[in-house]
Amino acid sequence: MTVALMWEARAAQGRGADLLTWADGQSLAELPLRRETFRAPQDRVLVITWWDAEYDAELPELPDPAPDLVSRPVHRWRFESVGRS
């Protein structure tokens, strides 16, 4: 089964580049099958990691950044593949 973990944060005012750099620099205890980083308006950063694991498996996740780097708590979601393209 493939599980995707999504981590999304909104940077504090004027800190979008800092948050993006911080997210890119975070290593995980294990390597995922795939990892992609995205950015969006309002200085939002999204990191998606894909894993070959069961839905409820314990998987390494990005931590919370320092409070001064974000404008709100980090959002996290977990999805499982339904096997369709």
Q: pLDDT for 49-74, tens place per residue? A: 999 999 999 999 999 999 999 999 99
Q: What share of the chain is helix, strand, coil (3-state, %, to 5)?
A: 15, 40, 45
Where does the pLDDT of residue 83 fall: very low under 50, low under 70, confident under 90, or very high at 90 and above?
confident
pLDDT at residue 84, as a whole number: 67
Does the pLDDT at position 23 exceed 90? Answer: yes
Give the angle 59-38-16 at the CA atoms, nearest 5°: 105
